[in-house]
Amino acid sequence: MTAPETRTAPFGRMLCAMITPFTASGALDPDAAGRHAAALVADGCDGLVLNGTTGESPTTTDAEKAALLRAVRAAVGDRVPIVAGVGSPDTRHTIDLARQAERAGADGLLVVAPYYSRPPQAAVETYFRRVADATGLPLMLYDIPDRTGIRVEPETLLRLAGHPRVVAVKDCAYDLLGSTKVIGATSLAYYSGCDELNLPLYAVGAAGCVSTVANVAPRQLRALLDAFDAGNTAEAARLNRLLTPLTELMTASGLPGTVTAKALLGAGPVREPLQPAGRGATDGLRRAYEELLTTTGRCPSPTPVP
């Protein structure tokens, strides 16, 4: 077990990959975003990630991304770090988004690997270095090959760890061995980006998690990390088991986490090509959530975002 005081957690420990609320007509709802962000911080999140996968970044405009960041910053102030998603398949566009996020008040940048074109590792490394050199903000590299079509290989991460502004990794590679090796060989702060791996990665030295499930169950996830840090691994394992049914429905049921989180939160529509959860899926999510409440007794049902 890694002691809490020896973990490097530059953006906090318990981060929420925040949804982006929309109005009934599909427009950005910055007021709802601010309320949701403030509630997450009150319920235990010590960092927020905006404009990521769960935030529907492929379907929000550059202007909407900046407006969302400004609204959340106004709502939470300087109480927690805000990490802004800026990745794209185009290095120039990613740099533009990075500079925009810096001007809008981000504390860090979440930079996904360049997707679709599937560049070789040398080009992936150059992409990250160019973005890291474009602003004064620290970077969290986002390794999610299932969506991007390309892996950020451990050897590439080992080289990038030498850059002074590359400080963290959001890990969705499902490669516990590779992640453990990089954690052990570098000072990179690893954040689990897959909720089912939050506890296993934390146990081998990760800094924390960037969680979709935290949109609806932040206190339970925070309690899991707290229990592990206190040396109560049995309680951490118990909480992990209790969270598993909801985690599975939210992230592994065939519906994107954006869709399932918004179904539970009533946070407005999703943008096409995504479609809202059907009645059966929504009812199942609510049953799993109510069961979690029954067994943990930690917080009321999700507060509607609008």
For residue 1, the one-letter residue type is M
191 is a catalytic site residue: no
Q: In 3-state terms, what secondary structure has residue 66?
A: helix
DSSP for 76-107?
HTTSS-EEEE---S-HHHHHHHHHHHHHHT-S
Count of residues for the chain?
A: 306
Q: Which two tokens stand for residue 238?
A: 């118990």
Number of Cβ within 10 Å of residue 156's Cβ equals 19
| Closest listed residue to residue 82, CA positions, set 128, 50, 119 | 50
Asked whether 260 and 253 are in contact (CB, 8 A), the reply is yes
The active-site residue, picked from 65, 115, 127, 142, is 142
Q: How far is CA 128 from CA 52, 139, 263, in A?
A: 17, 9, 34
The active-site residue, picked from 115, 116, 127, 170, is 170
Q: How far is CA 45 from CA 11, 176, 198, in A?
A: 11, 25, 14
In eight-state DSSP terms, residue 193 is -
181 is a catalytic site residue: no
Q: In 3-state terms, what secondary structure has residue 195?
A: helix
Q: Is the dihedral of CA 117, 275, 254, 194 positive or negative?
A: positive
What distance in Å separates the CA atoms of residue 3 and residue 6, rounded to the nearest whole number? 5
Q: Which residue has the tokens 């202007």?
A: 63
| Closest listed residue to residue 223, CA positions, set 19, 5, 80, 13 | 13
Q: Which two tokens stand for residue 50?
A: 């905006």
Provide the annotated active-site residues.
Answer: 142, 170
